[in-house]
Structure 1
Amino acid sequence: MAVHFLHTSDWHLGQFFYGHSRQYEHEQFLAWLLEQIRLKQPNALLIAGDIFDVINPASTAQKQLYQFLADAHEIAPHMQTLMIAGNHDSGYRIEQVEPLLEKYNAKTVGVIRSNQQQEFDLDRLLIPIYDFQQNIVAWCLALPFLRPAEITGFQEGISDPLVAIQNLHEQLITEAKKRKTPEQALILMSHAHMQGAEESESERSIIIGNAEALSTSIYGDDIDYVALGHLHKPQKVTRANIRYSGAPIPLSFSELNYKHQVVEVWLDPLASPESKFKFEILSIPRSVALHRFSGELNEVMAKLKSLASGEIENIDEREYVDIEYYALTPPPLDLRQQIENALPKNRYRLVRICRKHKLNPEGDVDNSKIDLAPPTPENLFEQLWEKMGYEEDQEAKQDFLSLLQEAQDQINADSH
């Protein structure tokens, strides 16, 4: 019995891009995804974490998710929607609405819990996937983002998070193998950073002490498909059946050329080796374009004037523009106005202007910038570090990010 499912992740509902709401772009993506579900009628939809952009999402972002779940259930009532919490999500928050999710044939795993024996509660992490006749065709091993304090707290005498994570995987896979029959597939869904995978500048590093990313060897050969979330670039990791689906919209200008997608997967454990795993890439249309221009200021101005014209009435549908230009002199006081005048009227949103001071043919130094987005703690740390005259120090930055993560975990725990 084959299982057929869709793999997506990193929606980041509620995100603001340089102060601009992405609600329209997410609406367009979700409408497209609903059409794919209507046409393909899969057994399951897997959402591998970072459903929301922040742990305390706005009501509009939450409404987007729950309206999507209601619409998906209406057009494919047999389809299960399985979700895990990512590092941007509050695992407790998304689990609080389980009674609502059940009405839409949806289930979420937000945090790792213990059972009465103070061991990992593996039952919550093993979710059966059914076919149209309500036969179990696969087991989904659902692992949310694993924070160090959570993962080591269940294993006495183990302080190394990587060892704790490996033990959890071994226990979960062993239990899944006990439950499965030969015709049932094993799917592992995880929000994690894997060794050998490629990041973008918009992705905050996962801090597990000072440990490295996880190795794909942690999955062994028993898992038929690994549905990953966290990294925004769609990619396989070592094997074709270990994949990041990637984010559905570009979350930074470094993702401008990403081929955003949902992965459609078929698994049939009883088929021949070459037919057990099949997949197809479903390309997501981009609803709002991003443009990045760099060069001497006169070159940038010429490029801006050659852009397509034609007004876009809804500001949320207007295209984003990012500019990096090279100059030896400080920017003119009216530079932003000059650039706005060069852009065709009411079609574009200018979100960043950055001047780079060209020192020599080998390299440039970032000299000044006009950034219209609200500062993040990481941005403020980097700016203060630079202002104090210190050289770039990745170890210091990692220590700061570790402290920031601990503070966010504590705020999250205190709220529950």
Structure 2
Amino acid sequence: MTVRFFHTSDWHLGQFFYNHSRQYEHEQFLAWLIKQIQQKQPHALLIAGDIFDVINPASAAQKQLYQFLADAHDIAPNMQTLMIAGNHDSGYRIEQVEPLLEKYNAKTVGVIHKNAEGQIDLDRLLVPIYDEHKKIVAWCLTLPFLRPAEITGFNEQTASSQNAIAYLHQQLITEAKKRTTDDQALILMSHAHMQGGETSDSERPIIIGNEEALSTALFDDAIDYVALGHLHKPQKVGQEHIRYSGSPIPLSFSEINYKHQIVEVTIDPTQTDESRLQFEAAAIPRSVQLHKIKGELNDVFTQLTALPHGEIDNIDHREYVDIEYHTAVPPQPNLRQQFEDALPKGRYRLVRISRQYLASEKSGDENTQISLEPPTPAKLFQQIWEKQGYSNDDQVLKDFLCLVQEAEKTLENEHEA
């Protein structure tokens, strides 16, 4: 029996981009997605984590999600929506609304639970996908972002994070193969950083301590398709059937050239040739453009004045501009105003300015770049560490990121309590 589903991830609902709300851009994406669902009527919609941008999302972001689920259920009542928590999400929070989700034929897996025997509750992680006749056409193995505290300590095989991750995959896939019949597909959905994946500068680091990016060797050959979340660039990892769908909108200027998409996947388990698995990428229209302007000051002004004209009344619909200018001397005090004046009126939002000093006799051969963007905890730590005279040490940075994640987890648990 053929199963057809959409693979999406990393919506980051509620994101603020240099203090500007992305609500309009998300509204446009979700409206477009509703049209795709209405036309294609898939069996399932998979959202592979980072549904929200922060663990405590604003009410407007939550409303966007639940309104979308209601609208999707109205136009495709047989479609199931399956969601997992990413590293930006609170797994406990998104699981709290299960009674509401059931009304819209939706299910979320936020954390790894124990069963009555004190072992990993595999039943919660194995979700059947049904056709319009309520017959199981596939099983989805759902793996949210795996936090060490949730997956270690079950038994001797889960003493460390790496062993626990391998054990969890092995146990889950083994159980799934027991339940699957020859006419049913196996789909694995996971939020993780896989070896070989290409990153952007907007993904929060999740490789901490002594942990490394995960290997695709974790995935058994019996898995028909692996739907990944976390990396924002659409890409395959090693094999055609192991894919990141990517984010629906650019979440940083480094993602300007990403071809944002959802992946429509069709699996026919009765076939043994290449017709068994087919997928097609559907390009997501970009509702607000991003512009990266670089060069010496004269070049920057030339590029700014050459940008398209035509006012956009609503500020939330205006295009974003990032300027990196190169100079050998300190900037003039009113430089930002000069940039603003050079931009065509009423169309753009100048959200970021950075400068890169050109090499000079005093500065040596190396360029020094100064960014006005607020530093991340990792960057701030590195700056302080280096100012104290210590050398750049990857292990120290990993340990610091581990402490940051533990602090975030503690705050999350306190909030849930």
TM-score (normalised: structure 2) = 0.96
Aligned-residue sequence identity (percent) comes to 68
Q: CA deviation at 1:207?
A: 2.8
Maintained 8 Å contact 1:148/1:209 = no
- CA deviation map 1:101-154 (0-9, x unaligned): 000000000000001111000000000000111110000000100011111132
- CA deviation map 1:319-368 (0-9, x unaligned): 000011111111110010000000011110111111111227975221x3
Aligned residue type for 1:235: Q
Q: 2:244 matched to which residue of 1? A: 244
Question: Cα 1:390–1:349, aligned 2, differ >3 Å: closer, same or farther?
Answer: farther
Aligned residue type for 2:166: Q
Q: 2:348 matched to which residue of 1? A: 348
Q: 1:290 matched to which residue of 2? A: 290
Q: What CA distance in whole angstroms lies between the structure 1 residues aligned with 2:334 and 2:4?
A: 56
Q: 1:105 matched to which residue of 2? A: 105
Unpaired runs of 5+ residues, structure 2, are none
Aligned residue type for 1:127: V
Q: What CA distance in whole angstroms lies between the structure 2 residues aligned with 1:236 and 1:282?
A: 15
Question: Cα 1:272–1:157, aligned 2, differ >3 Å: closer, same or farther?
Answer: closer
Q: CA deviation at 1:155?
A: 2.9
Q: CA deviation at 1:97?
A: 0.2
Q: 2:191 matched to which residue of 1? A: 191
Q: 1:231 matched to which residue of 2? A: 231
Aligned residue type for 1:182: D
Q: 1:58 matched to which residue of 2? A: 58
Maintained 8 Å contact 1:161/1:208 = no
Aligned residue type for 1:62: Q
Question: Cα 1:87–1:252, aligned 2, differ >3 Å: closer, same or farther?
Answer: same
Maintained 8 Å contact 1:148/1:208 = no
Aligned residue type for 2:230: H
Q: What CA distance in whole angstroms lies between the structure 1 residues aligned with 2:387 and 2:22?
A: 32
Maintained 8 Å contact 2:234/2:258 = yes
Q: What CA distance in whole angstroms lies between the structure 1 residues aligned with 2:20 and 2:379?
A: 18
Q: What CA distance in whole angstroms lies between the structure 1 residues aligned with 2:61 and 2:252?
A: 19
Which piece of structure 1 moves more, 229-238 or 208-217?
A: 208-217
Q: What CA distance in whole angstroms lies between the structure 2 residues aligned with 1:347 and 1:387?
A: 41
Question: Cα 1:362–1:71, aligned 2, differ >3 Å: closer, same or farther?
Answer: farther
Q: CA deviation at 1:202?
A: 0.7
Q: What CA distance in whole angstroms lies between the structure 2 residues aligned with 1:363 and 1:195?
A: 32
Q: Secondary structure at the match of 1:163?
A: helix
Q: What CA distance in whole angstroms lies between the structure 1 residues aligned with 2:157 and 2:239?
A: 34
Q: What CA distance in whole angstroms lies between the structure 1 residues aligned with 2:365 and 2:281?
A: 39
Q: 2:328 matched to which residue of 1? A: 328
Q: 1:43 matched to which residue of 2? A: 43
* 1:165 matched to 2:165: yes
Q: 1:211 matched to which residue of 2? A: 211
Q: What CA distance in whole angstroms lies between the structure 1 residues aligned with 2:343 and 2:289?
A: 15
Unpaired runs of 5+ residues, structure 1, are none
Aligned residue type for 1:147: R
Maintained 8 Å contact 2:157/2:163 = no
One of 364, 369, 373 as aligned partner of 2:367: 364
Q: What CA distance in whole angstroms lies between the structure 1 residues aligned with 2:351 and 2:391?
A: 28
Q: CA deviation at 1:376?
A: 3.9
Question: Cα 1:28–1:72, aligned 2, differ >3 Å: closer, same or farther?
Answer: same
The aligned runs of 1:118-197 (5 Å cut-off) are 118-156=118-156, 158-197=158-197
* 1:337 matched to 2:337: yes
Question: Cα 1:389–1:292, aligned 2, differ >3 Å: closer, same or farther?
Answer: farther
Q: CA deviation at 1:8?
A: 0.1
Q: Secondary structure at the match of 1:207?
A: coil
Q: What CA distance in whole angstroms lies between the structure 1 residues aligned with 2:94 and 2:283?
A: 28
Maintained 8 Å contact 2:47/2:82 = yes
Q: 1:380 matched to which residue of 2? A: 380
Q: 2:115 matched to which residue of 1? A: 115
The aligned runs of 1:57-76 (5 Å cut-off) are 57-76=57-76
* 1:401 matched to 2:401: yes
Which piece of structure 1 moves more, 153-162 or 269-278?
A: 153-162
Q: CA deviation at 1:392?
A: 4.0
Maintained 8 Å contact 2:208/2:401 = no
Q: What CA distance in whole angstroms lies between the structure 2 residues aligned with 1:136 and 1:48?
A: 21
Q: 2:88 matched to which residue of 1? A: 88
Maintained 8 Å contact 2:312/2:347 = yes
Aligned residue type for 2:169: H
Q: 2:262 matched to which residue of 1? A: 262
Aligned residue type for 1:210: N
Q: What CA distance in whole angstroms lies between the structure 2 residues aligned with 1:2 and 1:381?
A: 51
Q: What CA distance in whole angstroms lies between the structure 1 residues aligned with 2:118 and 2:156?
A: 10
Q: What CA distance in whole angstroms lies between the structure 1 residues aligned with 2:385 and 2:18?
A: 22
- CA deviation map 1:182-232 (0-9, x unaligned): 000000000001001111011122134322111101012010000000000
Q: What CA distance in whole angstroms lies between the structure 2 residues aligned with 1:158 and 1:106?
A: 31
Aligned residue type for 2:371: K
Question: Cα 1:163–1:140, aligned 2, differ >3 Å: closer, same or farther?
Answer: same
Q: CA deviation at 1:157?
A: 6.2
Q: Secondary structure at the match of 1:275?
A: helix
Q: 1:411 matched to which residue of 2? A: 411
Q: 1:14 matched to which residue of 2? A: 14
Aligned residue type for 2:368: V
Q: What CA distance in whole angstroms lies between the structure 2 residues aligned with 1:236 and 1:58?
A: 33
Q: CA deviation at 1:384?
A: 3.4
